[in-house]
């Protein structure tokens, strides 16, 4: 029995089985690579599902977190810290939020969505419109916005008043939004659905529809934010100003954190003292991590790098003309390799054996969300291995 097998047995004996049994036990990482407990190395093309924006062991993040751990980890929400304020200011800057905008810090994406739901309820309306195939989290409020029946049905009845409409369908959205709608909640790219990218006009029309109805437009940037699509946030590709965005995943580079950013004074005034809170949100450690991540992305030019590497990947896959691979879609370094049959699980398994970590997010879709620091030669090593991987997966 390998060390990996022994640890997985202990995992099964001690962990609640909500994830099933994972295939690997990781011991450590460096850059875009991770190692398992048996010493095998893998190119990490998932990045903790878009979390490890700077990869593993990035010097700026290690230094900031180590320094902060020696100073203060937690100060409670009875007080604040310079780091919390600095990170809020930085998020307002990179999101190009107008004057009067504000930040609420949480610990995760689903908590940021919960805050967004409460923000929407403060409009005095109760209806929320979300998209079919959307994923917004698994807490009960966020789950009401999430569309997948298998996630929802065991826990119904959920939060009432939520309507789902087809994604990238402005006509359906227009019919669903009325005077009882508090908010429309949309992902700029649907990551969990298989990296589904709408027409650029869709978010623009959603902005017009919500504004006309007096409803909020809340953009879920949990997976698409912090440089993942080649801009700081996915909504920026459409050139709109939303009423609020939710942020998490890549913001902490691996340290749990999340945020709700409200745009403008009117929306920012909806939640007042005592109406929401958190024990750990915006703690000094998470704030230090967030500042380090944002600083490194800017200093190393990783927004442009994400765009370049994403385009490079798509071009290399197209040039390779791999049987059963039908294309690449997505933005920046949030990409999907599409397949002509439901073989993604088999492809991911063979890829793992070959030293590559990829995500079979849908039966005919492989999702890639590698660290933003990934280099062309690393992507090329995967593309070079892809024909053999697919051949073995379909044998």
Integer Cα distance of 82 and 331 in angstroms: 34
Integer Cα distance of 161 and 139 in angstroms: 16
Binding residues: 109-110, 135, 138, 220-223, 278-279
Beta strands in the chain (DSSP E): 26-30, 33-36, 41-44, 102-106, 127-131, 162-165, 181-186, 216-220, 244-247, 258-262, 325-331, 334-339, 356-357, 359-362, 365-368
User: In 3-state terms, what secondary structure has residue 171?
Assistant: helix
Integer Cα distance of 91 and 294 in angstroms: 9
Q: Strand order of the sheet with strand 41-44?
A: 26-30, 33-36, 41-44, 356-357
| Residues forming beta bridges with residue 30, ordered by sequence position | 33
Q: Note the residue count of the chain.
A: 395
The DSSP symbol for 323 reads T
CB atoms within 10 A of CB 114: 22
Written as one string, the DSSP assignment of 340-385 is SSS-HHHHHHHHHHTTEE-EEEETTEEEE---TT--HHHHHHHHHH
CA–centroid distance for 156 within its chain: 25
Integer Cα distance of 92 and 108 in angstroms: 18
Integer Cα distance of 189 and 136 in angstroms: 12
Closest CA to 2 of 22, 21, 25, 20: 25
The first and second tokens of residue 45, run together, are 């093309």
Binding residues for N(2)-acetyl-L-ornithine: 138, 278
Contact 227, 306 (CB under 8 A): yes
Binding residues for pyridoxal 5'-phosphate: 109-110, 135, 220-223, 279
Backbone angles phi, psi at 36, to 5 degrees: -90, 175
């Amino acid at each position: 029995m390998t060390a990996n097998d022994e640890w997985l047995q202990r995992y099964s004996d001690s962990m609640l089985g909500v994830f099933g049994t994972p295939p690997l036990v990781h011991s450590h990482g460096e850059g875009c690579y991770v190692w398992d407990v048996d010493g095998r190395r893998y190119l990490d093309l998932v990045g903790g599902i878009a979390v490890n924006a700077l990869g593993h062991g990035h010097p700026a993040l290690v230094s900031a977190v180590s320094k902060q751990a020696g100073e203060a980890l937690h100060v409670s929400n009875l007080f604040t810290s310079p780091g919390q304020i600095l990170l809020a200011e930085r998020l307002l800057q990179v999101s190009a939020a107008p004057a009067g905008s504000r930040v609420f810090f949480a610990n995760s994406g689903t908590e940021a969505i919960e805050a967004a739901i409460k923000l929407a309820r403060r409009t005095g309306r109760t209806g929320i419109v979300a998209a079919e195939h959307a994923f917004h989290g698994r807490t009960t409020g966020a789950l009401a916005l999430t569309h997948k029946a298998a996630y929802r049905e065991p826990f119904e009845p959920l939060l009432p008043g939520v309507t789902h409409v087809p994604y990238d369908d402005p006509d359906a959205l227009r019919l669903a939004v009325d005077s009882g709608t508090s908010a429309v909640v949309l992902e700029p790219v649907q990551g969990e659905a298989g990296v589904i990218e709408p027409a650029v006009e869709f978010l623009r029309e959603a902005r017009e529809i919500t504004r006309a109805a007096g409803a909020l437009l809340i953009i879920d940037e949990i997976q698409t934010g912090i440089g993942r699509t080649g801009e700081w946030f996915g909504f920026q590709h459409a050139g709109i100003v939303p009423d609020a965005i939710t942020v998490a995943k890549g913001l902490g580079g691996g340290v749990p954190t999340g945020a709700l950013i409200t745009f403008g004074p009117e929306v920012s005034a909806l939640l007042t003292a005592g109406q929401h809170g958190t024990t750990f949100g915006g703690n000094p450690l998470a704030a230090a991590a967030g500042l380090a991540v944002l600083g490194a992305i800017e200093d190393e030019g990783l927004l442009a790098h994400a765009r370049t590497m994403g385009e490079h990947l798509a071009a290399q896959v197209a040039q390779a003309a791999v049987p059963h691979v039908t294309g690449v879609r997505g933005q920046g370094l949030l990409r999907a390799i599409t397949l002509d049959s439901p073989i993604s699980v088999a492809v991911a398994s063979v890829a793992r054996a070959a030293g590559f970590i990829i995500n079979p997010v849908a039966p005919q879709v492989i999702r890639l969300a590698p660290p933003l620091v990934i280099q062309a030669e690393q992507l090329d090593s995967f593309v070079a291995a892809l024909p053999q991987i697919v051949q073995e997966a379909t044998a």
